Amino acid sequence: MRELFHEITSNLRNNKLRTALTGFAVSWGIFLLICLLGAGNGLMNSFLGNMEDFISQTITVEGWRTSKPYAGYQEGRYIQLDEADVTFTEGPRWSPAVGNVTRQTGSTGVTFSLDGNTVAGQVSGVMADYLEQNKLKMYAGRFLNPDDLKERRKVIVLSLAQAKELSPRNPDALVGRWVNTGTVSFRVVGIYHTDESNMYRICPIPYPTYKVIYDRSDKIESITFTVDGPKTKEDYEAFEKDYGGALRLRHEVAPDDRRGIWIRNGYTDNMEMNEAQRIIRTALWILGLLTLVSGIVGVSNIMLIAVKERTHEFGIRKAIGATPAEILKLIIAESVTITAIFGYIGMFLGMIACQIMDKTVGQRSVNIGMEEIRMLVNPTVGLDVALEATILLIVAGTIAGAVPAWKAARVKPIEALRAE
Amino acid sequence: MLIELKDVNKTYNNGQPLHVLKGIDLSIERGEFVSIMGASGSGKSTLLNILGILDNYDTGEYWLDRKLIRDLSEKTAADYRNRMIGFVFQSFNLISFKTAVENVELPLYYQGVPRRKRHEMAMEYLEKLGLTAWASHFPNEMSGGQKQRVAIARALITRPQIILADEPTGALDSKTSVEVMQLLKRLNQEEGITIIVVTHESGVANETDKIIHIKDGIIGEIEENKAHTAWDANIIK
């Protein structure tokens, strides 16, 4: 093995141009692949990754204005959901499928004040699942818990932006303090994270507390529930159509009036998202593999020429006792050595390029109307993918070398010696 | 009997069939210094290639050291070439990107001799041929005579039973030619190696002990030439 290695290194050293050309083809192929996959990952992380934060595995129902006349009513009628709809949803008709049902009240605008600082907010009565359903992340303290609801405590969770307004020096210290809304005071139990993207002014308080203080009616803003049972996207769509139609009929809304009663199906949204992600990923890999193919073609091209050029040399080697297996071994080992070394270099440079992308384009953000998003988020390729690609190229390089090597090994020594 | 050919025939089939060797019968004893002489196209190089197991023949028998050389696998053929035969070519056939000593080492590499041992032996043979100073030079830095001596060192290093030389002086000037022939003669006399030289120059053939004339693929006259007077005789003829 060491002998072979010595033989190879001396061959490569003595054929610098050929080595450099082959090496460049390999490095370039793997470099492009890694850059492509890195940029693709970055784009995907920025568009899909951001969205994933807002999709929870639930179905949410909200009432709004009807979009078509139905049952003698004109279009544009406002639909108000109430407790009866919650009972309907929890009812036996949907019982095997519908899991945990939660609800949220409408909201009331208030002004909080503390130590001379004030901030505006929308108080809304929610259940303890609100945190998970809306993918909020806590910054300090805790979220509302079932006991808060059961005992109708006057507790509130503020957003970090609001906390900073009320307690500019030390927002954390707000947890445990009482904030005044003019009529009622709430004790702050927690602060949730806000990014620039969502203009969250919503301040969750326990659902029963809200009902007692702001709205004694049985009106509710939205119903959110989990669904168990449906498996495929079609199953969920069928359930949505079935349930939505029935709910709309209860309010004398056309069964297909999607604006009158609006349903957000987190399950199908998620499936669509995963599907989109899968398609983009596949497309990226296909593009990447095509790039890799150009690298492989480069390698096999050069190997083909190199072997042809060396036919005479192989003739000499055979005349002095090289077996076909020795010739085969020599060419393939050279091919593998070149692709491995230069593949590694290409992979290394590609990963550096990804880092540079991350530091430059990745830091730039664009405004897409509702929110600021970064162009590329973490545009890098995992080491595993990079290594896989490099190994793939080495295997391909071996195969690329093997075909001409096989031909060279089989040529009769006398014919090889005649070649120039 | 080291080499024995019985009715060996060879036809090339490149478009029009060309019957190159038409029934060659030939015996060469161990330790002989023989030349095969003939005009170009007489089949002498084909004969040498068959003797060197570089090429195969169609019919007949070729016995080398009591082994029948026919339908050998490439692997066995390579092994026989490596252990029994040393080649010296007209165009030297050194590997251009290897130094003199690396070229000489190469046959031992294919025998699996360790590198250090290989290098020692190669240096020993280069010294024998007066090339110690040129050991680390590449072929293109050497003269024709030096290159041919490197090639001879490479042929000798496996201690073969036969050296096959195909026009060994063809690319050399007359002075160097004489030196190379003297070298081969010395190897034959001192080491007892069987040497077969293919040539079309009667001057070169005259240096050998036996001259086999080949014409149109048939062995003609076989001259005993112990006194090395064939050349003079040919001139008188």
CATH code of the domain containing B150: 3.40.50.300
Q: What percent of chain B has pLDDT over 70?
A: 97
Range of B89's domain?
A: 32-42+81-236
Confidence check: pLDDT of B11 > 80: yes
Contacts B95 to A, Cβ<8 Å: 313, 316-317
Query: Given this model, what pLDDT does residue A316 score?
Result: 93
Interface contact B93-A316, CB threshold 8 A: yes
Query: Given this model, what pLDDT does residue A367 score?
Result: 63
Confidence check: pLDDT of B199 > 80: yes
Least CB-CB distance to B55: which of A3, A322, A414? A414
Interface contact A324-B78, CB threshold 8 A: yes
Query: Given this model, what pLDDT does residue B103 score?
Result: 94
Residue of B nearest to A310 (CA): B95
Interface contact B87-A317, CB threshold 8 A: no
Backbone phi, then psi, for A94, in 5-degree steps? Answer: -110, 5
User: CA–CA separation, A187 vs A250, rounded Å?
Assistant: 39
User: CA–CA separation, B208 vs B226, rounded Å?
Assistant: 8
Single-letter residue type at B83: R
- Per the domain annotation, does B127 fall within a domain? yes
Query: Given this model, what pLDDT does residue B117 score?
Result: 94
SS3 label, residue A367: strand
Contacts B111 to A, Cβ<8 Å: 321
- pLDDT tens per residue, chain A (420 residues)? 677 787 788 778 877 887 888 888 888 888 888 888 888 888 777 776 666 556 678 899 999 999 999 989 998 999 999 999 999 999 888 888 888 899 998 888 899 998 889 998 899 999 998 888 887 888 899 999 999 999 999 999 999 888 988 988 888 889 999 999 988 999 999 999 876 545 567 899 999 999 999 988 989 999 999 888 888 888 888 899 999 999 999 999 999 898 999 998 888 888 888 888 888 888 887 888 787 777 778 777 877 887 888 889 999 999 999 999 988 888 888 888 888 888 889 888 988 998 888 888 777 776 655 556 666 777 777 788 888 877 887 787 778 778 888 888 888 888 888 876
User: CA–CA separation, A120 vs A106, rounded Å?
Assistant: 16
**Which residues, 6+ apart, have CB-to-CB distance to B208 below 8 Å?**
B33, B34, B35, B195, B197, B225
Interface contact B75-A412, CB threshold 8 A: no
Split into its structural domains, chain B has a count of 1
Average pLDDT (B17-38) is 92
Contacts B115 to A, Cβ<8 Å: 3, 6
- Per the domain annotation, does B119 fall within a domain? yes
Nearest Cα of chain B lies from the Cα of A9 at a distance, in angstroms, of 12
Residue of B nearest to A311 (CA): B95
Query: Given this model, what pLDDT does residue A36 score?
Result: 84
Conformation bin of residue A68: beta by default, left when phi > 0, alpha when psi is -120 to 50: beta
Of the candidates B62, B93, B203, B144, the one whose C-alpha atom is nearest the C-alpha of residue A414 is B93
Nearest Cα of chain A lies from the Cα of B107 at a distance, in angstroms, of 6
Nearest Cα of chain B lies from the Cα of A337 at a distance, in angstroms, of 19
Interface contact B97-A11, CB threshold 8 A: yes
Least CB-CB distance to A321: which of B89, B102, B107? B107
A294-325 as b/e: b if 16+ CB within 10 A: ebbebbbebbbebbeebbbbbbbbbbbbbbbe
Least CB-CB distance to B74: which of A7, A320, A323? A323
Interface contact A318-B78, CB threshold 8 A: yes
Interface contact A10-B93, CB threshold 8 A: no
Interface contact A325-B75, CB threshold 8 A: yes
User: CA–CA separation, A390 vs B21, rounded Å?
Assistant: 54
Residue of B nearest to A316 (CA): B93
- Compute CA B98 distance to the chain's CA centroid, rounded to the nearest angstrom: 22
User: CA–CA separation, B223 vs A349, rounded Å?
Assistant: 72
In this structure, what DSSP letter does residue A218 have?
S
Check if B224 contacts A (Cβ < 8 Å).
no
Q: What percent of chain B has pLDDT over 90?
A: 67
Interface contact A412-B93, CB threshold 8 A: no
Contacts B81 to A, Cβ<8 Å: 318-321, 413
Greatest extent of chain A over all pairs of C-alpha atoms, in Å: 106
- Per the domain annotation, does B65 fall within a domain? no
- The more confidently predicted of residues A18 and B50 is B50
Contacts A319 to B, Cβ<8 Å: 52, 54, 81, 87, 93
User: CA–CA separation, A273 vs A105, rounded Å?
Assistant: 29
- Per the domain annotation, does B8 fall within a domain? no
Residue of A nearest to B111 (CA): A321
Nearest Cα of chain B lies from the Cα of A364 at a distance, in angstroms, of 53
User: CA–CA separation, B52 vs B219, rounded Å?
Assistant: 18
pTM of the predicted structure, to 2 decimals: 0.68
Check if B116 contacts A (Cβ < 8 Å).
no
Interface contact A10-B74, CB threshold 8 A: no
Contacts B93 to A, Cβ<8 Å: 312, 315-316, 319, 417
User: CA–CA separation, A182 vs A33, rounded Å?
Assistant: 61
- Per the domain annotation, does B47 fall within a domain? no
Interface contact B109-A7, CB threshold 8 A: yes
**Which residues, 6+ apart, have CB-to-CB distance to A72 below 8 Å?**
none
Residue of A nearest to B52 (CA): A319
Of the candidates A129, A135, A145, the one whose C-alpha atom is nearest the C-alpha of residue A190 is A145
In chain B the first and final C-alpha atoms are separated, in Å, by 33
Please report, for residues A379, B129, B145, B227, the alpha-carbon distance to residue B183 in angstroms, rounded to integers and kept in the order given: 71, 9, 11, 18
Q: For residue range B68-86, what is the model confidence (pLDDT) as tens digits?
A: 999 899 899 999 999 999 9
Q: Identify the residue among A14, A19, A320 best suited for mutation to test binding to B, counting B beta carbons within 10 A and taking the highest.
A: A320
- Per the domain annotation, does B4 fall within a domain? no
SS3 label, residue A369: coil
Interface contact A3-B97, CB threshold 8 A: no
Nearest Cα of chain B lies from the Cα of A322 at a distance, in angstroms, of 6
Interface contact B95-A326, CB threshold 8 A: no
Query: Given this model, what pLDDT does residue A26 score?
Result: 82
Query: Given this model, what pLDDT does residue A308 score?
Result: 82
